[in-house]
Each structure stands twice: as C-alpha cells, then as structure tokens.
Amino acid sequence: MKVGFIGLGVMGAPMALNILKGGHELTVYDRSPEAVARLVQAGARAASNPREVGAASEIVVTMLPEPQHVEQVVLGEDGIASGLPPGGMVIDMSTIDPVTSSRVGRALRERGLCMVDSPVGKTSEHAVTGTLTLMIGGEAADIERAMPVLRCMGTDTFMCGGPGTGHAMKITNNLLATTIMVANTEVLAIGAKAGLTLELMMEVMKTTMAFNHQLYVAMPKKAFKGDDSPGFMVKLAGKDVRLAVELAKAYGFDALVGRAAQESLDRAARMGYAERDTAALMKILEDELGIQVRLPKA
C-alpha cells in the first residue's frame, strides 16, 4: 500500500520504519530534517508538508504530541485532508482525547475520507520490534482496511468500539499507569528516608496488594538507576494525565487522584524537567530528601 507517516519522534520513527519493512511504499514528514533524513536513508520518500504526504498516500498515519497538532496537521491549511484522494484514510496513533478524535473523524467523513484511531501502549523498545499494543477505534470496515498497516507496528490488538474509543482507552490506561508511577515514587522516597532499602521494600510489596508493574518492570529500567534520559517525557505524561482529568470533568466529576498526579508532573516541568524521562520525579525527591533509591548493582 501507499502509506504516509507524520511524526517521527521516539515512537514514530521506529513505527514508520516497520511499515517500510512490511513492504509498503512510505512517504514521511516531520519538522525535524534529521528525522526525515534517517527514514529516507532507509527507503522512504520525503514530503515538504502534510498535504504532500496525503497526495502520495492511500493511508496516512499520524503520531503527534497534542490534540491541536493532530487537528492542524489533518485539517489545517496544507493538511493531510487537502491532499488525500477520495476514500483515503487517516490512522491517528497519537495520544489525544476522544472528543478531538471524534471531531476530526467527522470532518474527514464530510470530505469523503475516513479515520481510525489506534493509539499505542508499551515502550519505544516495543516500537522498534513492532510489538506494540494497539487500542483501535473506528468503523469495522475501516479497521479491516487499516489492519495490514497496523500489523506492521503491533502484535496485541484490542478492538475498543466506534470512533474515538481507542483514544478513550489510551488516556484511561495512561492515567492509571502514571498515577501508579507517581504514587510509587512518593512511597519509596518516604521509605528510603525512614531507613528502608529499596530491595527490602520491593521484596515485601511483591507479597502484598502493593504489587504493580511500574514498580517491578518499568522503574528498574530507569528510575532505580538514576537515569532520567528522555524516554517517556514528563511533558508527555503530564499531557496524557491532563487530557484524562479534563475528560472526567466533562463527564461531571473531579478526578482527585489524577489531579494530584498532574500536579507532580507539572511541578517537575516547572523545575526544568519537562523533556526528561518521568524517572526525574524520583531524582527530584532524592535531591530534596538527601536520599538515594537504588537497587544493588548486579
């Protein structure tokens, strides 16, 4: 198929590369010339704007930071929709709110185009190996047509329902994952300050209801090594939580735990850690309390 890809960041670049490896023609666009050059070297064609990507494609995948970016890239001047041929499709794999997702989808349908939402789960390592989790929303016929492209990027696929439900699932998932991570950080800092070792706390928590994958899978890779080099950045985690909290408000209730997690992430961003990994939350508390939360080196 003729596929376009817009948004060649930490996740998007390896996802686009896997589409190429899947045998599809690929046209790419990103604001970073270096990111585009790496994909061109691998066999993709470069476009100078989203409209050109649309004109060269049957399906265009977007992987962008914020809801307003998706709306602008898809529907704005020189946007994808102005180039896509009749019947063309947008697969939005960004993490955005279902309200924006549904609005963009409706606008595309009015132009004789269609949209599938398929945000992703797991990490940049899984983006490289093509084993992401895909949370898919849309019309059944559109999803079926999108699957040859989606299968290049993910192995765990979940059909969430109609348009926008993939995005609803993603921000719901990320709200829980992030609040658990923030809670872990605070709890471990309290324990370390009280004289407990991280190794002991993890041994005990493994046997209780405190067990969680953030504690035993994600945090040992970064936070417990003192490594806050960019992975899942503070600003993106904060955006995901903000979208979920705003969605809750639109539904008529106050997500108190979510708001507390959002404040922790906003505080880290104000301190200059916006583009660092969320492991920075652990480093901030270590510095403030004069502790270190580390596992013994192997």
The whole-angstrom separation of Cα 134 and Cα 119 is 6
> Could you give the CA distance from residue 4 to residue 80 in angstroms, rounded to a whole number?
10
For residue 157, the tally of other CB atoms under 10 A from its CB is: 15
Residue tagged active-site, from 2, 21, 170, 206: 170
Tell me if residue 206 is catalytic.
no
**Placement of tokens 């190996």 in the chain:** 129
- Residue 281 amino acid letter: L
Spell out the residues 6+ positions from residue 157 whose beta carbon is closer than 8 angstroms to its own.
133, 134, 136, 150, 151
Give Rg (Cα) of the chain: 20
Under 8 Å between Cβ of 219 and 189:
no
Contact 116, 89 (CB under 8 A): yes
Which whole-number Å values give the CA distances from 276 to 32, 64, 118, 247, in the listed order?
Answer: 19, 18, 26, 26
How far CA 109 is from CA of 89, 90, 142, 262, in Å, comes to 10, 11, 12, 34
Q: Are 95 and 243 in contact (CB under 8 A)?
A: yes
Q: Is the Cβ–Cβ distance between 132 and 120 less than 8 Å? A: yes
Please name which of 245, 251, 249 lies closest in space to residue 265, comparing C-alpha atoms.
Answer: 245
- Closest C-alpha to 171, from 241, 260, 122: 241
Catalytic residue numbers?
A: 170
